[in-house]
Amino acid sequence: MRRLLSLADLPGDALDALLDRAAAMKTESPDPSLLLGRQIALLFLNPSLRTRTSMELAAKSLGAEVVSLTPGQDAWKLETEPGAVMDGDKAEHVIDAVRALGEMAHLVGVRTFSGMTSFDEDRTEPVLSTIAAAARVPIVNMESALDHPLQALADLLTLRETCGNDLRGVPVTLTWAPHPRPLPMAVGAAFLRGAARMGMDVRVAAPEGFTPPDFLIEEARGLLPGAGDVTVTDDQAAAVRGSRAVYAKAWAAPALLGDADAGAAARTANSGWRIDKDLMALGDDAVFLHCLPVRRNVVVTDGVLDGPRCRVYAEAGNRLHTARAALAEILGGPGS
């Protein structure tokens, strides 16, 4: 593996092998000298708790040195627009930042962001693709406009721990959830890609107006390995019925991006999509998954988050093991 931009880039057997490696690194402490002499730079253009912690600890636990930078706070404010005339407040272009970091580090992790104007535009990954084209060392996507492969790896490891390693045909629901703010689709899209790649029976549930863009559903269907399915419904209960896992995530109404008032009204009108115990009871002993951070009692009730079927903290913990596996795969060669 030369870089990690999207799970869609990994063939199914490579994804299985990566998850096997993460599981092995979880049960047996990995070689603390595996990445000795390697340097890693992490560039956060958006805030993070789990991604930063898991990547830093993963790198250190394998012997690498790691530095995290937050442009605009502890590093120069970055321009991301290709061809920009930089006569404003942004002192450095992300192209130059990534090239400079690549002269000092063997791998650069980047967290970029959605423009939140159009999911069609996000689909082109304007900032990540600029960085990937400019970089001379491997790039790891730590969340971009429309992807979050490190999160999806942890989601899949958690699903394997719940449902067994062979996830083909296992029913799972990705449900839209209410939120006070319009959010990007990165996490939902990454989960959709990963679950489809594993051949799961993925049911996407979203209220009218919040259905993910067709291109994303078609992309996920194209990743199915000859098993599983990707279906879309606006009936949340029907989707959850018989599912082994319920993955909740908020995202903006695609057609209302840029219309703050209409978007807020649409989200409020669907506040009943909050996940509660009654909904979870429709599943097949279903576990609850969420990437975190989560808005308690807006996205999901306390009863579910603090209940016995909640796996979100194990899922967050799995960020460490999957980050180790990804770094080892890119920088460390075989074995752990």
Residues in the site for ligand CP, rule: CB under 6 A?
48-51, 143, 151, 291-292
In the bound state with ligand CP, the residue whose beta carbon lies nearer, of 6 and 51, is 51
Tell how far CA 267 is from the center of its chain. Answer: 22
Token pair of 55, please?
């990547």
Measuring CA to CA, which residue among 208, 292, 217 is closest to residue 255? 208
HEC readout, 51-96: HHHHHHHHHHHCCCEEEEECECCCECCEECCCCCCCCCCCCEEHHH
In the bound state with ligand CP, the residue whose beta carbon lies nearer, of 64 and 294, is 294
What's the min distance (Å) between Cβ of 143 and ligand CP?
Answer: 6
- The residue with tokens 């062979």 is 166
Sign of CA dihedral 135, 140, 142, 144: positive
Rg (CA), the chain: 19
d(CA 216, CA 200): 16
* 39-44 and 107-111 beta bridge pairing: parallel
In the bound state with ligand CP, the residue whose beta carbon lies nearer, of 38 and 111, is 111
What's the min distance (Å) between Cβ of 186 and ligand CP?
Answer: 9
What's the min distance (Å) between Cβ of 291 and ligand CP?
Answer: 4
In the bound state with ligand CP, the residue whose beta carbon lies nearer, of 131 and 266, is 131
In the bound state with ligand CP, the residue whose beta carbon lies nearer, of 256 and 289, is 289
Other CB atoms within a 10 A radius of the CB of residue 49 amount to 10
What's the min distance (Å) between Cβ of 165 and ligand CP?
Answer: 23
In the bound state with ligand CP, the residue whose beta carbon lies nearer, of 51 and 162, is 51
d(CA 68, CA 63): 16
What's the min distance (Å) between Cβ of 224 and ligand CP?
Answer: 25
For residues 69-81, one letter each, b for 16 or more C-beta atoms within 10 angstroms of the residue's C-beta and e for the rest, the string is bbbeeebeebbbe
In the bound state with ligand CP, the residue whose beta carbon lies nearer, of 102 and 149, is 149
Measuring CA to CA, which residue among 225, 223, 275, 209 is closest to residue 247? 275
Phi, psi dihedral angles at 129 (to 5 degrees): -70, -35
What's the min distance (Å) between Cβ of 110 and ligand CP?
Answer: 13
Measuring CA to CA, which residue among 61, 64, 16, 19 is closest to residue 40? 64
